[in-house]
Structure 1
């Protein structure tokens, strides 16, 4: 079912729970994609979850969307629009609260699942606002410290749980960027798992089953 009364376009798969607190998983797609992409995972994930797949706010004609622009400049090489990324961080943080209220979801049991650029934003939201997020599934992405809130290090991160994975032959986001994630998370006390799989910029079947099992223990 598609809904559009809230601040970000999204599609939703309701929970099988009909009363009591309903856990929620928000999905954030990659650069140039849309909300249908990761939603293909939804039928295979725990049925008690309400699953909300969100469309990024910046259109990329002719189709697709982005959380922030990636500029290809001959002098500067490839660079990300960090100001736009910060705007998306705030849009997502607001949307989480908005959706939890609108759909009567458990704001203490929120999971973010991102892929690529959606993972960069998932890290940004969870590390900037750890009080809003319980779990993060971070696929094929990295932590961009430039788009974290300035006071993020002062916050308590020990209640966060993060599952991170990356393809060892990723040709879009180098695996070396992802390999820095455990050191960063250890510094601020975030419990986490980091796994590599022998694939490129994508999610291998064994990767899917690994994070699915991890998630089942965390919700």
Structure 2
């Protein structure tokens, strides 16, 4: 990995004076969105968490992206791993004041969250993936899938089967990967489309409470 001075734009749910000793939940937004997008979820999440929403590094259109879309010619696994390495470098600068680190990603943000888990499985308490997918890594050593499989970390995957945004090939791979590697909680939400419902957010709150706070 090349040296990076990447310092992401981050929005926090608590002032710095109130973060020490709290569990950290990092939010990763989707394609063409920004760090503010998922902060609307915060009131529905366990109040014990300090929530940090991170902006993706690449400006594109009306927002930002973590890496090119997988069907685009400029997509590469290296662009995924660079984005994840940068996130991990930032995490290294903040994780010391928190009791645990959990991740929540929406759409492409789920690909980022699960990739951080696969790179640093020993550091992540739980992952929430909403209407998203896992990146096929082709055995790239950056992704320590064997360690993930050995640890079986808790992962929540919520989606609508009628979601037209995440293509069937991504769903097929994700389904196979999560079933093999994690302690999976999978819930389908008909009618949600490519979004998040109040019921789903209530389930996420319950998942984080039992798997992280009381785990």
1:188-207 equivalences under 5 Å are 188=181, 190-198=182-190, 199-207=192-200
Counterparts of 1:67 and 1:148, CA distance in 2: 21
Q: Which has the higher contact order (CA 8 A, sep 6+)?
A: 2
Counterparts of 1:180 and 1:195, CA distance in 2: 17
Counterpart of 2:84?
Answer: 89
Among 202, 206, 209, which residue is 1:213 paired with?
206
Q: TM-score w.r.t. structure 2 length?
A: 0.84
Counterparts of 2:128 and 2:134, CA distance in 1: 13
Deviation sequence 1:104-162 (CA, Å, 0-9, x none): 222xx111000011101111110221012110000111111228751613325425110
**Structure 2 residue runs without a partner (length 5+):** none
RMSD between superposed Cα atoms in Å: 2.7
Q: TM-score w.r.t. structure 1 length?
A: 0.82
**Structure 1 residue runs without a partner (length 5+):** none
Counterparts of 1:6 and 1:174, CA distance in 2: 31
Counterparts of 2:69 and 2:179, CA distance in 1: 29
Counterparts of 1:33 and 1:59, CA distance in 2: 10
Aligned residues: 205
Counterparts of 1:159 and 1:100, CA distance in 2: 21
Counterparts of 1:55 and 1:114, CA distance in 2: 12
More helix by share: 2
Counterparts of 1:85 and 1:200, CA distance in 2: 25
